[in-house]
């Protein structure tokens, strides 16, 4: 910008040089002409002076000196504006030179006025003819002419210098308006009148007092008018003078208080300046407010990267106070950063690393804008701390990466479709579910993969999503690449636009094929016998109830066959459980082959089968029963070169509209089967109401009714008998015993009601009630600070109850009970009767953390043979060996043997039925661990 000002400045220099030079050429000519005119000099003498060249040489010197002065005046200005070279001149020096122009200009003229008359007289007359009066008049005439001629050129030169300051600026007034008014309005008219008066006197030779008075009046009038003009101008300029006299710290608010002092242009200009300063004050206030309160740092630097402005936000960001950092290079904050280079490259916002006062690294966003101030290049930097934003962005990117990895690697299908139902996104789970890669499925319609039987349901489901409904756990079946079926559970919701229209649908899908297969397997296991694959007792009883209810409405007839194998126990005890299982499988296949299609066959118990015959006439029942019996009579079981003739006893109950309940029908068939056995086995027997008193079945049915009532009303009771350590006499635990209240206030022992409960399918409910109540009671006792342990008895059919183990797990989890504080007991006979199931059941309890005891040990057949196969913790020696221990050497030997074998297997022993001290001492001598019996403590509802 400075270099661009040099061209007009050179033109101004030429004009200024011409004006000054021309004034020193014209002024001597007119001055000597005036001298000749006024008779102060004669033309021959003037020609003589010119022929001697002294006067010409002096005038030439003056012209040369004027040109040299003009060039010397402008040279420092041009050097200062030239940014390519270093100048030793400052703006203040240049303004001083300009201010000295008036002195130098009139000094030139004064030199001429003093020297020219002397040269004239010296070259023509010499010192002998010197006339002081004439010489004085010549000097005075030269002075008047010089002023009159030099003044226009002087004003023209000042005008040229005014153009100079327009380019370089002005720091203080160089020429005052008052001096110009004095020259134009006072001094010039006065000199003009004086010249005219002298001319008049010279030609007329007449001098009068009136002319002098007139000259004085004219001069006084001119001076008065000039002084009045100067006074008015001074008053007008007073506000401006106030501004000029203020220092640089004067605020815009103070300058806005300027008020006009005249009605001319200066007054109007003063008012305009006041308004301008008010606007500048408001703008500065706004700018200062923005600058001080800006949340971003504002840093201004000059072209040398030196900081000249540093706002509070920048102080807070970098930790430096403004007074500390102003004047420092910007690189002190951000190393290796050049603001001019960044501005030239126009990089916009960029992220850079900087260091604060404490030396900590911070990440900032930097925006640079360039501006010009008095021709100087400046840079404004907007800086913002984005460390937290960058950290948040990093977290977001990491979260997005984790989410992307999670979605892409998820086993569940993550998907989206457009409003038409075409896939727009699928994750990699599509490959494992459908057998297609996501790319192969994109653009295809969802229902293209629907199983035909689910196509219409799928279309309706997605239509509901498009209507704004959410799809939750919608189960369907889709087809894979290989044609196999996949059970899928869909969750989906529609994404709507501002108009509320669904633009696309997003969701997930979970492959539940294995879950469905497992559920199907569980449902199958819940309804089927694990050995034979037939329906189990639970399912059979439910079907029997449905059949009885249906027949009560329709009036049709049906029949129930209760089939009991006659030789099963003998085969099982002789050849072992494996042979018994094989026999059951062959019998199952035999029954399947010879039963009617549509009838229901079930395994009801160990060697008991039940068969429901639908829509059968009474006359056909006896024939079918005898046919089945004959089939078994002709059947032979071969095992290990042994041949067994296995027969069966069949009890039949007719189901008609007189049947009141499934339990009644089942009891009738059971009674008929028992009568068939009583009659010699290998028989069929059809129930007759008159037969129910023959085996006491009516009493059993009564007990079953009472048991059901007590269960329904939660009236069973628990009592607790202590199990005591023989070595220290401390109570190790309590055995939980079940009692059933009776009408007369007495309680019934399990032996009184358990057979009926087993016969009529209530035993599982009793087991569950006993376990749940015992665990809750034990948890309460231990929470109250009593570190007691329980031994809970289970029935022999507990292994068949698939819901018992989940109940135990749930009860322990709910109460927070320590599982090791519970020991479950089951009789040896029951365990041996179903060894495989017993082993699995015991292992499951041990996995939970519970302990297990084998009750009545020694009462079974070949007890030691099976002991090593059962993972029990404790053996309870049967009371039949303990009751007469003091007087029976054989019992003593048996107890010693059982105790030694148990200890050898790492198991503890408990002796039941300890009734006296003598027996207790013998047990202590044998090394038995614990004792239980009336001598140790009777069963009680209270625990000490």
Residue 611's DSSP bridge partners are 561, 601
> Pick from 389, 385, 386, 369: which is nearest to 377 by CA?
369
Q: Angle 527-531-533 (CA atoms, 0-180°, nearest 5)?
A: 45
CB 747 within 8 A of CB 739: yes
Strand partners, 876: 910
Helix (H) or strand (E) holding 911: strand 908-911
Q: Which residues pair with 300 in a beta bridge?
A: 309, 380
**In 10 A of CB 92, how many CB atoms?**
9
Checking DSSP bridges between strand 558-565 and strand 636-639, what pairing results, if any?
unpaired
Cα angle, residue 421 at apex, residues 417 and 426 outer, rounded to 5°:
30
CB 551 within 8 A of CB 612: no
CA–CA separation, 361 vs 45, rounded Å? 92
Phi, psi torsion values for 329, nearest 5 degrees: -70, 150
Q: Cα separation of 901 and 753, whole Å?
A: 35
Angle at 623 between CA 618 and CA 628, to 5 degrees: 125
Residues 6+ apart with CB under 8 A from 316: 297
Following DSSP, what letter does each residue of 448-467 receive, concatenated?
A: GGB-GGGHHHHHHHHHHHHT
CB atoms within 10 A of CB 41: 23
Report the DSSP pairing between strands 822-827 and 790-793: parallel
CA separation, residue 759 to residues 651, 671, 674 (Å): 15, 11, 12
Other C-beta atoms closer than 10 Å to the C-beta of 764 total 20
> For residue 296, with 0-12 CB atoms within 10 Å meaning exposed, 13-18 middle and 19 or more buried, which class applies?
middle
Contact 807, 772 (CB under 8 A): yes
Write the DSSP symbol of residue 469: P
Q: Which helix (H) or strand (E) holds 792?
A: strand 790-793
Q: Please tell me the distance from the alpha carbon of residue 926 to that of residue 499, in angstroms, as a whole number.
A: 90
Please, is 583 exposed, middle or buried when counting C-beta atoms within 10 Å of its C-beta (0-12, 13-18, 19+)? buried
3-state secondary structure of 691: helix
Task: Say if CB 342 and CB 368 are below 8 A apart.
Answer: yes
Question: CB neighbours (10 Å) of residue 858?
Answer: 21
Handedness of CA 136, 139, 142, 144 (dihedral sign): negative
Indicate if the alpha-carbon torsion angle 252, 255, 257, 258 is positive or negative: negative
DSSP state of 819: G
Let me know how long the chain is: 944
DSSP 596: P
Q: Is 607 a catalytic residue?
A: yes
Number of other residues whose CB lies within 10 A of the CB of residue 445: 14
Q: Given 458, 564, 566, 607, which residue is catalytic?
A: 607
Q: How many CA atoms lie within 13 A of 381 on its CB side?
A: 33
Which of 204, 211, 232, 165 minimizes the C-alpha distance to 5?
165
- Which letter does DSSP use for residue 820 in this model? G
Pairing, β 648-655 against β 684-686: parallel
So which residues are the catalytic ones?
Answer: 607
């Amino acid at each position: 910008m400075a270099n661009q000002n040099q061209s007009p400045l050179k033109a101004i220099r030429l004009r200024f040089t011409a004006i000054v030079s021309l004034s020193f050429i014209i002024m001597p000519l007119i001055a000597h002409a005036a001298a000749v005119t006024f008779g102060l000099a004669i033309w021959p003498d003037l020609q003589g002076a010119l022929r001697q060249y002294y006067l010409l040489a002096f005038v030439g010197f003056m012209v040369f000196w004027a040109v040299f002065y003009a060039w010397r005046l402008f040279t420092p200005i041009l050097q200062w504006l030239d940014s390519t070279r270093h100048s030793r001149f400052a703006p203040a020096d240049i303004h001083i030179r300009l201010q000295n122009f008036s002195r130098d200009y009139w000094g030139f003229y004064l030199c001429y006025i003093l020297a020219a008359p002397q040269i004239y007289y010296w070259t023509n007359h010499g010192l002998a003819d010197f006339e002081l009066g004439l010489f004085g008049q010549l000097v005075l005439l030269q002075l008047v002419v010089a002023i009159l001629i030099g003044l226009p050129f002087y004003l023209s030169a000042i005008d040229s210098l005014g153009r100079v300051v327009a380019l370089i600026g002005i720091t203080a007034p160089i020429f005052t308006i008052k001096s110009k008014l004095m020259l134009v309005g006072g001094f010039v008219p006065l000199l003009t009148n004086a010249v005219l008066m002298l001319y008049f006197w010279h030609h007329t030779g007449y001098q009068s007092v009136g002319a002098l008075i007139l000259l004085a009046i004219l001069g006084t009038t001119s001076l008065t008018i000039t002084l009045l003009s100067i006074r008015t101008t001074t008053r007008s300029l007073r506000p401006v003078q106030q501004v000029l006299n203020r220092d640089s710290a004067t605020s815009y608010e103070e300058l806005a208080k300027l008020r006009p002092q005249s009605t001319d242009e200066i007054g109007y200009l003063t008012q305009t300046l006041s308004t301008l300063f008010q606007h500048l004050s408001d703008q500065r206030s706004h700018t200062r407010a923005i600058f001080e309160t800006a949340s971003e740092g504002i840093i201004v630097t000059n072209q040398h990267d030196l900081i000249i402005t540093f706002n509070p936000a920048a102080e807070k960001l970098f930790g430096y106070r403004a007074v500390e950092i102003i004047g420092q290079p910007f690189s002190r904050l951000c190393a290796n950063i050049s603001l001019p280079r960044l501005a030239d490259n126009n990089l916009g916002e960029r992220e850079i690393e900087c260091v604060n006062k404490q030396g900590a690294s911070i990440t900032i966003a930097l925006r640079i804008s360039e501006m010009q101030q008095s021709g100087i290049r400046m840079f404004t930097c907007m800086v913002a701390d984005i460390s937290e934003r960058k950290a948040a962005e990093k977290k977001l990117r990491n979260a997005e990466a984790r989410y992307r990895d999670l979605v892409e690697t998820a086993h569940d299908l993550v998907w989206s479709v457009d409003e038409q139902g075409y896939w727009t996104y699928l994750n990699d789970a599509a490959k494992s579910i459908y057998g297609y890669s996501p790319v192969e499925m994109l653009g295809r319609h969802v229902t293209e993969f629907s199983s035909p039987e689910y196509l219409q349901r799928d279309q309706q489901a997605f239509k509901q999503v498009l209507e704004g409904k959410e799809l939750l756990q919608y189960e369907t079946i889709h087809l894979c690449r290989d044609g196999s079926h996949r059970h899928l559970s869909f969750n989906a919701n529609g994404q709507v636009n501002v108009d509320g229209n669904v633009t696309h649908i997003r969701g997930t899908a979970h492959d539940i094929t294995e879950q469905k297969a497992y559920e199907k397997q569980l449902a199958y296991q819940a309804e089927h016998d694990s050995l034979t694959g037939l329906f189990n007792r639970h399912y059979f009883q439910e079907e029997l109830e449905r059949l009885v209810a249906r027949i009560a409405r329709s009036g049709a007839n049906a029949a129930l066959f209760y089939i009991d194998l006659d030789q099963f126990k003998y085969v099982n005890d002789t050849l072992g459980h494996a042979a018994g299982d094989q026999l059951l499988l062959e019998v199952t296949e035999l029954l399947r082959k010879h039963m009617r299609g549509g009838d229901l066959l079930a395994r009801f118990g160990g060697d008991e089968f039940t068969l429901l015959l639908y829509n059968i006439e009474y006359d056909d029942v006896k024939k079918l029963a005898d046919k089945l019996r004959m089939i078994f009579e002709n059947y032979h079981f071969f095992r290990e070169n042994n041949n067994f003739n296995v027969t069966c006893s069949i009890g039949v109950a007719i189901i008609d509209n007189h049947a009141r309940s499934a339990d009644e029908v089942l009891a009738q068939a059971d009674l008929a089967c028992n009568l068939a056995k009583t009659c010699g086995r290998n028989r069929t027997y059809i129930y007759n109401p008159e037969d129910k008193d023959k085996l006491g079945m009516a009493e059993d049915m009564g007990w079953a009714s009472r048991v059901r009532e007590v269960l329904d009303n939660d009236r069973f009771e628990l009592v607790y008998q202590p199990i005591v350590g023989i070595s220290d006499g401390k109570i190790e635990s309590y055995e939980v015993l079940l009692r059933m209240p009776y009408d007369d206030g007495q309680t019934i022992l399990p032996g009184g009601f358990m057979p009926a409960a087993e016969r009529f399918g209530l035993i599982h409910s009793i087991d569950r009630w006993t376990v749940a109540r015992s665990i809750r009671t034990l948890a309460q006792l231990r929470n109250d600070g009593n570190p007691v342990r329980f031994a809970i008895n289970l029935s022999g059919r507990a292994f068949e109850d698939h819901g018992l183990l989940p109940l135990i797990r749930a009860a322990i989890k709910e109460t927070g009970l320590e599982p090791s504080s519970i020991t479950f007991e089951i009789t040896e006979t029951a365990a041996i009767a179903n060894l495989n199931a017993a082993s699995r059941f015991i292992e499951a309890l041990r996995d939970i953390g519970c302990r297990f005891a084998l009750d009545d040990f020694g009462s079974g057949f070949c007890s030691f043979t099976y002991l090593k196969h059962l993972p029990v913790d404790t053996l309870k020696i049967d009371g039949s060996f303990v009751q007469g221990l003091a007087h029976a050497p054989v019992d003593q030997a048996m107890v010693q043997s059982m105790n030694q074998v148990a200890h050898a297997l790492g198991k503890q022993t408990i002796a039941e039925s300890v009734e006296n001290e003598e027996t207790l001492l013998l047990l202590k001598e044998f090394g038995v661990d614990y004792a239980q019996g009336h001598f140790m403590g009777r069963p009680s509802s209270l625990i000490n």
